[in-house]
Amino acid sequence: MVGENGIRENEVAVELPPATDAGLVFIGRILTPWSTRMETPRQGRHDGPLCRIEIYEPWRQALQGVEAFERLEVLYWLDRSRRDLVLQSPANSGKLHGTFSLRSPVRPNPIATSIVKLEGVEGATLMVRGMDCLDGTPLLDLKPDRALFKPSAPPQPRDFQTGDDVAHSCKKAW
């Protein structure tokens, strides 16, 4: 039995480089029914339990207009994750996978995203379904689901660019 932050057979941890400060600020917190990882869903569902997203001051004004969207994209910080594994064995299966080929909470920068169903807005609190995080998880950002969002600025030629035939396409450096 491996504890919540334990390492499984053949998993590979590395020494974490010194932290750099990206200047992130926690803009709120997510209140959910789950207090242990064992009971937290691996991915949220739109028919899952109602959760609350509380926005802190001074960000509450930034909620203006969110009620127009049926779904929001939520970015959050999995604050109780270890961050040093490069190879992981989900469910202790014995098979190893690179961290960037997984949606595991264990990653160098434990940023998670979910598309949630917005059920209502009560002042500075959003009622949502579709979360999969521990109670009290810090909130990084909220955006409208991109499938529902139409920019208010008129379309630009760059929005329709396809293929590689452009002046600044990404070139291999080798």
The nearer residue to ligand SAM, 11 or 132, going by C-beta atoms, is: 132
The Cα 40–Cα 140 span in angstroms is: 19
* Residue window 113-132: x/- pattern of binding to ligand SAM, with contact defined by CB under 6 A: xx-----------------x
Q: Does 67 bind ligand SAM (CB under 6 A)?
A: no
Measured in whole angstroms, the distance separating CA 2 from the mean position of its chain's CA atoms is 25
State the minimum distance, in angstroms, from the CB of residue 168 to ligand SAM: 30
Q: Which is nearer to ligand SAM, 41 or 144 (CB)?
A: 41
Residue 134 binds ligand SAM (CB under 6 A): yes
Q: Is 133 in the site for ligand SAM (CB under 6 A)?
A: yes
Task: Restricting to residues 26-65, name those near ligand SAM by CB under 6 A.
Answer: 37, 40-43
Query: Across the chain, where does the E strand assignment appear?
Result: 12-13, 28-31, 50-55, 71-77, 85-88, 97-98, 111-122, 125-129, 137-144
Note whether 137 binds ligand SAM by CB under 6 A: yes
Structure token pair of residue 113: 């995203």
State the sign of the Cα–Cα–Cα–Cα dihedral 148, 152, 154, 155: negative
